[in-house]
């Protein structure tokens, strides 16, 4: 199980190592937008939307990596003081009853909209914007799939931990 979980982790490690550059690109692009607007009096809607696309990509595609490195916000009133066995049980329940079902529901309900956006190659959000909002909508199923992959990996690891603590 551990080797399979490692392969699943590798997916989000690769995505995370690529997506982290979105933050730098987003910052530089936003600096350019501000510079152009306030120094040169020039505004470009597509340039502004580029920041939005990078921001959405960073958070939607980076969610699985964040779960991998345990960076999600956790309300750990009980979790922090719990034993490793109890933590594993809490995590297993969270993956089975919350994360996996919610991602499957979002994936199911978002897919028709994404499919339709691709069918017509849906254009810009705003007039003069990036003519590819179908790409932006595609982040929703990508987000779900990357979180599902990481959730399965975490679930497998927690099951192994639970088995180890039972002995």
Each residue of 81-126: pLDDT tens digit? 899 999 999 999 999 999 999 999 999 999 999 999 999 999 998 9
Q: Name the pLDDT band for 61 (thresholds 50, 70, 90).
A: very high
Domain housing 119: 2-166
CA atoms within 13 A on the CB side of 160: 11
Q: What is the 3-state secondary structure (H, E, C) of 15-60?
A: HHHHHHHHHHHHHHHHHHHHHHHHCCCCCCHHHHHHHHHHHHHHHH
pLDDT at site 102: 98
Distant-in-sequence, close-in-space partners of 48: CB < 8 Å, separation ≥ 6: 33, 129
Kind plus residue range of the DSSP H or E element containing 110: helix 100-119
> What total number of domains does the chain contain?
1
């Amino acid at each position: 199980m551990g080797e399979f979980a490692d392969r699943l982790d590798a997916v989000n490690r690769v995505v995370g190592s690529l997506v982290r550059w979105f933050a730098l690109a987003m910052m530089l692009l936003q600096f350019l937008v501000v510079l152009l607007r306030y120094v040169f009096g020039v505004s470009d809607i597509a340039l502004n939307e580029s920041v939005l696309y990078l921001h959405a990509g960073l958070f939607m595609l980076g969610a699985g990596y964040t779960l991998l490195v345990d960076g999600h916000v956790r309300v750990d009133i009980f979790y922090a003081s719990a034993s490793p066995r109890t933590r594993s049980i809490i995590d297993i329940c969270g993956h089975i009853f919350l994360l996996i079902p919610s991602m499957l529901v979002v994936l199911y309900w978002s897919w028709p909209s994404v499919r339709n956006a691709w069918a017509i190659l849906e254009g810009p959000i705003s007039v003069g914007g990036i003519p590819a909002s179908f790409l932006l909508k595609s982040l929703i199923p990508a987000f779900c799939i990357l979180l599902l992959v990481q959730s399965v990996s975490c679930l497998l690891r927690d099951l192994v931990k639970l088995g180890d603590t039972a002995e």
